[in-house]
Amino acid sequence: MNLPTFNSIKPEQILPTIKQLIEDNNSQISNLLAATDSYNWNNLIQPINELNDTLNRIWSPIQHLHNVADNPELRAAYNSCLPLLSAYHSELGQNKSLFEAYKSIEVKDSQQKVISNELRDFRLSGIDLSAEKQARYKQIKEQLSKLSTQFSENVLDATHAWKKHITDQSLLAGLPESVLALAKQNAKDADLTGWLLTLDFPCYQPVMNYADNRELRYEMYKAFVTRASTGQWDNSDIMQEIVTLRQQLAQLLGFANYAEYSLSTKMAETPEQVLEFLTDLATRAKPIAETELEQLKSFAKQELEPWDIPYYSEKLRKHLYDLSEEQLRQYFPLNKVLTGLFKIVEKLYGLTIKESTDNIDTWHKDVQFFDVYGKAGELRGQFYLDTFARKAKRGGAWMDECIIRHRTAKGLQTPVAYLCCNFTPPINDKPSLLTHREVTTLFHEFGHGLHHILTQVDYAPVAGINGVAWDAVELPSQFMENWCWQQPALDIFAENLPAELLTKMLAAKNFQIGMFTLRQIEFGLFDFRLHLEGRTDIQNLLDEVRQQIAVVFPPDFNRFQHSFSHIFAGGYAAGYYSYKWAEVLSADAFSKFEETGIFDSTTGQQFLETILEKGGSEEAMELFIKFRERAPKIDALLRHHGMMA
């Protein structure tokens, strides 16, 4: 099966191994270039793809452990490799002999897409620059790699450094039993009596939603929104340096700014197009959000601070719909949701998903491993599932590549994914119970996983999510969320959900949708303007964006940007707008299922063949048009959000 052996990875062996691999790859690429002056796919590109895949196979589990099982020794080893890897990729991208060899090769279809992407990336790596500017490019890339990792580590360390020990249960009034049990388990794990609150999301969010103690909500809110903004984990200078270096990188390559550089690999064509898209959505959402906020203030009968809004919103939801997120938990035990999710993709795509009975090496006892089989019983892919929050694991939810589909002379390499979430773990004899929002998160990440696993492209650079325009990457993930709201699907993955509760859920689906939409646009507009304008007065820019579109204004001490890992440590720089952009695509794609039936296998097969299996082998817009038989429209998104005029 040739899966990673996580428990055999020793920090002291990481740097020597990566160093040797890079040296070997460089040597073999030089030999390939010297072996002939008549290049083709088989004597150059295929061998190079295999060399890079070998490096990825070794580096991927190391990078993954850094995300899910961090410790000082591993972190030091991981960080020591970043300059080497950055230099390796920069040097490949600036290798003129390799560039000329790629230009000389004539192929068709998916192979041509690989070469087209590579030629674009040569130019984005500075192939046309002078030697002096190429050296500066490499230096910037190495610095950015180091800074982004440091940003992420600061957020992780600051998050886990804050704890509040409580021995008086009256201070926890209003908290659901599930949260009290989690806090009690936290205390027990730390050899304390009483309850221990943390900033991990399964603890933080319920406190903000349900704690009657306003001072407690304020204290946790302040701790959460000031993470990594002071002391030893302060990201202030790191953010400014990242923005400055990105701007220098873009201008070095001939772009006016980093936003233009970013769009060179996305569906959106110009910065103006992105700004117009976000502004248009904000214009539609703001009147709705203003009405929602006034309704909330009227209900609370007081002026509201940000640490009051989730609390009174939950009470208002309960008042209007007799519904709360917490009361839904009992209907969504994790195992039932997983089983139902697998049945849904079986109906849609003819897949069978089974937990592996093999003795699979994992990084934690809670990790599960699954095999994905196609209609004919063939193995299509596999995935690790790591669902629970814990110390040394970064927050949020994500899918990442473990092994990429790739065909070699030895045969086909089966794709393998990592799927990670941060849900509340089982406590004592009680199973893990999800909120409906967490169910949606699970479906979302599973959509990413399907995109990676189900690819039928045999070339790693355009297989799965590779080579897909970044503002289309969220299409399969957001698309899967739609089944979280459909009664026939809920009947499959929910545990005896009463019909009257489903009616209430659907009635409450767009509760405060205007405020939520504006918040997402605020993030997207801040990110895009930051990289369009190259601003280092980051707080001032965020304040400007809020003045333009927000209805809720945080206090002066709020430093949200210091933990905005998507844009400072992830792949979303000048691309956070893609969540809303892809939401248009996903809503429009799902509208076809609304027309034909949400489990219509013919439509499911069409989506499988035109989107999920194609990876990055064709342009995202071309693939969408093949599926929808027309260009995307925003109407379905507006209808789903209740924003149609």
Cite the active site residues.
Answer: 445
- Nearest in space to 349 (alpha carbons), one of 215, 453, 444, 421: 453
> Cα(516)–Cα(518) distance, rounded to whole angstroms?
6
> Cα(85)–Cα(643) distance, rounded to whole angstroms?
47
List the beta bridge partners of residue 443: none
Residues 6+ apart with CB under 8 A from 93: 121, 122, 124, 125, 126, 127
Rg (CA), the chain: 25
Alpha carbon 301 to its chain centroid, in Å, reads: 38
> Cα(590)–Cα(450) distance, rounded to whole angstroms?
16
Q: Phi/psi of residue 174, each to 5°?
A: 95, -20
Q: CA torsion, points 515, 297, 225, 236, in degrees to nearest 10? A: 70
> Cα(286)–Cα(168) distance, rounded to whole angstroms?
42
DSSP letter string over 322-377? S--HHHHGGG-BHHHHHHHHHHHHHHHH--EEEE--S----SSTT-EEEEEE-TTS
Contacts 24+ apart (CB under 8 A), 19-22: 19/84, 21/54, 21/55, 21/58, 22/55, 22/84, 22/85, 22/88
> Cα(288)–Cα(235) distance, rounded to whole angstroms?
35
> Cα(547)–Cα(529) distance, rounded to whole angstroms?
14
Residues 6+ apart with CB under 8 A from 81: 14, 15, 18, 59, 62
Longest dimension (CA), the chain: 79
- Nearest in space to 60 (alpha carbons), one of 409, 384, 360, 358: 384
> Cα(202)–Cα(182) distance, rounded to whole angstroms?
9
> Cα(546)–Cα(522) distance, rounded to whole angstroms?
7
Tokens read off for 362: 């994992």
Q: Degrees (nearest 5) of the Cα angle 639, 641, 644?
A: 45
